[in-house]
């Protein structure tokens, strides 16, 4: 079975516009207050890098790698593959995610990080797929809402491939 990734859903210029809008919102909301940005690996690494370069407040960048799925099924438990390096107690924290789909993993992560007593905890996603949501979770900062399609590019992958596209493309199996 061949994979076709020719159909562009979100262009590079639309991603640039999204980054400008999100960074403006974040700069307005946080002002000069320091911010710990926690990128969720692996998919959010490109979005995290592009976003933090546009932020004007003092920023610490950290990463986590988490999962609550085995194959296609949620276990209901959060597995931490890589934890953050910084203590977030009393700090403003922004979780940066590539895409919010069902919301299960992100809801579990949010609960975990709130136990670490940050001053504030917000979620920023590049792409949001609310049609697939099974948990009542709305990102505080939403980049672009996308339809229920399997997408790759701009950090999103299929078996580790296609992360390097500078746009978002729909995956079609032929």
Q: Which residues are catalytic?
A: 101
Q: What is the DSSP letter of 113?
A: H
Please state, in angstroms and rounded to a whole number, the distance separating the CA atoms of residues 32 and 4.
45
For the record, the structure tokens of 56 come out as 């004007």
- Helix segments in 5-129, DSSP class H: 12-30, 45-52, 104-114
Please state, in angstroms and rounded to a whole number, the distance separating the CA atoms of residues 21 and 152.
22
Please state, in angstroms and rounded to a whole number, the distance separating the CA atoms of residues 136 and 133.
7
For the record, the structure tokens of 107 come out as 């809801």
83 burial (CB, 10 Å; 0-12 / 13-18 / 19+) is exposed
Residue 93 CB coordination number (10 Å)? 23
């Amino acid at each position: 079975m061949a994979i076709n990734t020719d159909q562009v859903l979100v262009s590079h210029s639309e991603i640039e516009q999204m980054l400008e809008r999100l960074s403006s919102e974040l700069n307005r909301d946080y002002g000069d207050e320091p911010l710990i940005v926690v990128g969720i690996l692996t998919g959010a690494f490109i979005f995290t890098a592009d976003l933090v370069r546009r932020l004007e407040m003092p920023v610490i960048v950290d990463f986590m790698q988490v999962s609550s799925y085995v194959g296609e099924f949620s276990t209901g438990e959060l597995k931490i593959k890589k934890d953050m390096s910084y203590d977030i107690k009393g700090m403003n924290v922004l979780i940066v995610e590539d895409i919010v789909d069902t919301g299960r993993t992100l809801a579990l992560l949010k609960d975990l990080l709130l136990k670490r007593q940050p001053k504030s905890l917000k979620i920023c996603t590049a792409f949001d797929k609310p049609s697939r949501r099974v948990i009542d979770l709305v990102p505080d900062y939403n980049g672009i809402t996308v339809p229920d399609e399997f997408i790759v590019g701009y950090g999103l992958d299929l078996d580790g491939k296609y992360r390097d596209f500078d746009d978002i493309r729909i995956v079609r199996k032929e």
